[in-house]
Amino acid sequence: MQKLVKTGMPQDLPNKMSFLQLVKYKPKVQPINWQETRKQGKHIRHNNLHTGGYQTFLRWSKRNTNFRNDFLWSFTPTRTHKRKTINNYIMEHGANHLVEV
């Protein structure tokens, strides 16, 4: 995982279970900032200025896996792991050169 955080390059998983990758996308509608919405009494949206309006996530690619029925498997990292990995990468490198979906 350190390689993924430090370089942003896809991280190969053991036993040919393919790889993990940090990916960005630009949502059509930005999520609501509920803390500011409650203070001001009207809907305020997040603008994600630190990432240029993009949202990021960890994606598990199932290409070239070494097991059958890979469509039955899914990958869901814990909330703290997602936040730590993505925030550490963005704080060091920014979101400019992540793969866009």
What's the CA gap between 82 and 76, in Å, rounded? 9
Domain residue limits, the chain: 2-28+55-100
Choose between 27 and 101: higher pLDDT.
27
Name the token pair of 39.
């203070």
Q: How confident is the model at residue 1 (pLDDT cuts 50, 70, 90)?
A: low
How many CB atoms sit inside 10 A of residue 4's CB? 20
- In SS3 terms, 28-75 reads as CCCCECHHHHHHHCCCCECCCHHHCCCEEEEEEECCCCCCCCHHHCCC
Name the token pair of 7.
């370089």
Q: How confident is the model at residue 34 (pLDDT cuts 50, 70, 90)?
A: very high
Q: Provide the whole-model pTM.
A: 0.65
Give 48-92 pLDDT, tens digit per residue: 777 778 888 888 888 878 888 888 888 888 888 888 887 777 777
